């Protein structure tokens, strides 16, 4: 009976794995096809005559490389800002008791439920007055609205797993509260901070609405916007969209596979006392 359950679970997990991987496989497979092969019926699983024509067009005849660089800069800046703000906020929730703390935590969680569209006008007016429209800093700042709530909750869980005695011992030796955060908390929960940073980076990398609204030229457009530009009123360049989507997705997949042990360790560690 145990053997049947074991094999049944393995088959189910394998099936779910194939279902999740298949869209990526199909995207990459179609990216190496010629435009006239994309809409053939019935479709072939693999391209009959693989070609890199779409990748060549995207890389050398469009502004996708510029958008790719913009995405790296914006996502990197947004991630640094997010971690810089989330660590002290999470530390406050994990270590201090004060009136209304639970209500504040609930308010932070509810921020994830606020529709992005409802924040566009006030954000645009604020960024316009600050001169941050169509800039890396302006778009990175707006991405904080997507990143911060869950990042604070994640880091709150990580910090709660650290015994308070470590900080107390450090403060007995002469550390201030701020020094104990950077010398004790940050090094001990580095894997959790790294997992949170990865989450924040992926959110910023894929974000579309804020990047579309607050960028007015190629100077700050991200790669997610670049994908939209291949679709016009009268034509959709599927070959270029699939090639650019592959280029957009592969860096995240490669990065995740290289650091998956650290990411999973941090993600599961924060869940223990979140």
CA distance to 146, 149, 151, 152, 261, per residue, from 112 (Å):
7, 7, 11, 12, 28
- Mean pLDDT check: name the lowest of 32-41, 151-160, 210-219: 32-41
CATH of the domain at 257: 1.10.3720.10
Residues 44 and 94 in one domain: no
Q: Which residue has the higher pLDDT, 271 or 224?
A: 224
Residues 28 and 110 in one domain: no
Q: What is the per-residue pLDDT for 257? A: 73
Domain count, the chain: 2
Q: Answer yes or no: is 1 within a domain.
A: yes
Q: For residues 153 and 116, give the distance between their C-alpha atoms in angstroms, rounded to a whole number.
A: 20
Residues 45 and 70 in one domain: no
Say if residue 70's pLDDT is above 90: yes
What tokens does 228 get?
Answer: 């939209």
β-sheet bridge partners, residue 236: 231
Confidence of residue 101 (pLDDT cuts 50, 70, 90): confident
Q: Answer yes or no: is 56 within a domain.
A: no
Segments in the chain forming alpha helices (H): 2-31, 53-61, 64-95, 101-111, 120-130, 136-160, 164-172, 177-180, 186-188, 190-206, 209-214, 223-228, 238-258, 260-270
**149-160 confidence digits (pLDDT tens):** 888 988 888 888
**77-87 confidence digits (pLDDT tens):** 999 999 999 99
Residue span of the structural domain in which 134 resides? 61-270
What is the chain's mean pLDDT, rounded? 83
Say if residue 268's pLDDT is above 80: no
Q: What is the CA radius of gyration of the chain?
A: 23
pTM to 2 decimal places: 0.83
- The verdict on whether omega for the bond into residue 42 sits within 30 degrees of 0, i.e. cis, is yes
- Mean pLDDT check: name the lowest of 12-21, 106-115, 141-150: 106-115
Q: What is the per-residue pLDDT for 271? A: 43
The share of the chain scoring above pLDDT 70, in percent, equals: 91
- Nearest in space to 31 (alpha carbons), one of 51, 60, 57: 51
Q: For residues 196 and 153, give the distance between their C-alpha atoms in angstroms, rounded to a whole number.
A: 10
Residues 67 and 118 in one domain: yes
Spatial neighbors of 213 by CB under 8 A, at least 6 apart, are: 120, 123, 124
Q: Answer yes or no: is 84 within a domain.
A: yes
Residues 171 and 248 in one domain: yes
Say if residue 272's pLDDT is above 70: no
Residues 26 and 143 in one domain: no
Q: Which residue has the higher pLDDT, 260 or 152?
A: 152
Q: What is the per-residue pLDDT for 245? A: 87
Residues 2 and 75 in one domain: no
In this prediction, residues 246-266 reach a mean pLDDT of 71
Spatial neighbors of 31 by CB under 8 A, at least 6 apart, are: 54, 55, 239, 242, 243, 245, 246
Q: For residues 142 and 120, give the distance between their C-alpha atoms in angstroms, rounded to a whole number.
A: 9
Confidence of residue 210 (pLDDT cuts 50, 70, 90): very high
């Amino acid at each position: 009976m145990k053997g049947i359950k074991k094999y049944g679970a393995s088959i189910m997990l394998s099936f779910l794995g194939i279902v999740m991987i298949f869209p990526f496989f199909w995207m990459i497979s179609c990216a190496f096809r010629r435009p006239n092969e994309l809409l053939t019926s019935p479709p072939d699983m693999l391209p009959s005559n693989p070609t890199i024509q779409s990748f060549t067009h995207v890389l050398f005849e469009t502004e996708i490389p510029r958008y790719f660089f913009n995405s790296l800069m914006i996502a990197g800046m947004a991630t640094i800002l997010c971690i810089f703000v989330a660590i002290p906020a999470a530390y406050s929730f994990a270590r201090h008791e004060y009136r209304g703390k639970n209500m504040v935590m609930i308010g932070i969680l509810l921020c994830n439920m606020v529709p992005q569209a409802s924040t566009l006008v006030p954000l645009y007016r604020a960024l316009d007055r600050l001169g941050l429209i169509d800039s890396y800093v302006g778009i990175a700042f707006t991405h904080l609205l997507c990143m911060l709530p869950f990042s604070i909750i994640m880091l709150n869980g990580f910090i709660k797993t650290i015994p308070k005695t470590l900080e107390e011992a450090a403060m007995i030796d002469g550390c201030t509260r701020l020094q104990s955060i950077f010398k004790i908390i940050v090094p001990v929960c580095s894997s959790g901070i790294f997992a949170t940073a990865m989450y924040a980076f992926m959110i910023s990398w894929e974000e579309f609405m804020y990047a579309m609204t607050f960028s007015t030229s190629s100077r700050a457009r991200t790669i997610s916007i670049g994908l939209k530009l291949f679709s016009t009123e009268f034509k959709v360049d599927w070959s270029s969209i699939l090639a650019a989507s592959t280029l957009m997705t592969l860096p995240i997949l490669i990065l995740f596979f290289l650091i998956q042990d650290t990411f999973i360790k941090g993600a599961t560690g924060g869940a223990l006392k979140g």
